[in-house]
Amino acid sequence: MHQVQPYAFKALITFIFLLRLSVAESVSAQEKAQEETEARSQTSQISQRDHSLQLSNASPLQGETIKVTSTAGDAQTSPAVSFNGESIKMFPAESRKGNETGGDGTRYEALLAIPVLLTPGNYPVKVGNRSQTIHVQNAHFRIQNLTLPKDKDNFNASPGEKEEMNKAKATLTDTRMWNGIFEKPVSGARMSSSFGVRRRVNGKLLPDYFHSGADFAAGIGTPIKSVAPGVVIAARPHKIAKLHGNFVCIDHGQGVISIYIHMNSIDVKKGDRVEAGQKLGTVGRTGRANGPHLHFGIYVNQTATNPKFWFEQNF
């Protein structure tokens, strides 16, 4: 039998060792490549789950409302919109035909009211790790001259009146109760004073003041209607509301509140559920008013917004 020489045996052992080492390195390289592929896949999935951000209007006017839409893959809590130092809660949006997110994305929406007194210019809108810039345009609000008797040439309110109004404006409920454009609150009435105007009362320009709603001139006793479905969150008689007179506030959900001021009579009470077009009361001149009219306002997340857009657009 042929015997293997010692040097040949050592060479064989070395060859086998190097071969096994090469195989191990190859397997290790394959495993590393697989890990890198999986890591890239996970990174891609995470990227897809980051918030996307869309704005209904990137160049809004002062006083205008815009819609912010964000998509988050598996968010456990609703994201928030950051704008002008404020954080605004977003709500899950109902899926609409032609506007689905697809995959496991959850779509959220929030309404953003551009403050009337915000200086025109560029401002960031942020949701999560995404940001877009809006360019706020000058709305060029006019100045209106008013003459009021001395007993009404002030903003004096009854005790608790402003507090109740502010509490109503701050209402935030999760359920959206409206769908579609808002109806006008007084049928066929003339708009006697538009939103955003500055006022010169008895010859004096009021500093830092703007008209926070729209006035509808109509005779005393003319019916006032709810502009959209909602819940009455305030119904205060003028005897304890020196500034606003008889007023009603309605919560439409998700930070949208409508207010009705200077009413002659009130036909609803706090807690009532109302539908669009339902009678709330009648036009009057109670409170700080120089003639019969309805002051109507819309607040979005406590910021006054121009009702004109709500009569024309579905937010």
pLDDT in tens, 1-32: 455 455 555 665 665 655 565 555 554 555 55
Instruction: Judge contact between 177 and 250, C-beta under 8 A.
Output: no
Q: Give residue-wise pLDDT tens across range 133-178.
A: 999 999 999 988 888 777 665 667 778 888 999 999 999 999 999 9
**Residues 115, 161: one domain?**
no
Q: Identify the bridge partners of residue 294 per DSSP, sorted by sequence position.
A: 216
Give the closest residue to 263 by CA, choosing from 290, 250, 245.
Answer: 245
- Of 136, 164, 191, which marks where a domain is finished? 136
Would you say residue 259 lies in a domain? Answer: yes
Position 198 in a domain: yes
Within this chain, do residues 84 and 114 fall inside the same structural domain, yes or no?
yes
Q: Model-level pTM greater than 0.85?
A: no
Residues 199 and 262 in one domain: yes
Does 12 fall in a domain? no
Pairing mode, strands 65-72 and 52-55: antiparallel
Q: Are 120 and 164 in a shared domain?
A: no
Task: Please identify, among 87, 110, 136, the residue that sits at the C-terminal boundary of a domain.
Answer: 136
Residue entry with tokens 């994305």 = 105
Three-class HEC string of the chain? CCCCCHHHHHHHHHHHHHHHHHHHHHHHHHHHHHHHHHHHHHHHHHHHHCCEEEECCCCCECCCEEEEEEEECCCCCCCEEEECCEEEECEECCCCCCCCCCCCCEEEEEEEECCCCCCCEEEEEEECCEEEEEEEECCCCCEEEECCCHHHCCCCCCCCHHHHHHHHHCCCCCCCCCCCCCCCCCCCCEEEECCCCEEEECCEECCCCCCCCEEEECCCCCEEECCCCEEEEEEECHHHCCCCCEEEEEEEECCEEEEEEEEEEECCCCCCEECCCCEEEEEECCCCCCCCEEEEEEEECCEEECHHHHHHCCC
Token readout for 105 is 């994305």
Is 150 a domain residue? Answer: yes
- Same domain assignment for residues 115 and 199: no
Total structural domains within the chain: 2
The tens digit of pLDDT for each residue in 264-315 reads 999 999 999 999 999 999 999 998 888 999 999 999 999 999 999 999 999 9
Same structural domain for residues 68 and 186? no
Residue 84 sits in a domain whose CATH number is 2.60.40.1930
Domain enclosing residue 84, as ranges = 52-136
On whether both 121 and 165 belong to a single domain, the answer is no
Do residue 168 and residue 299 come from a single domain?
yes
Q: Are residues 148 and 126 in the same domain?
A: no
- pLDDT of 288: 82
Last residue of a domain, one of 136, 160, 191: 136
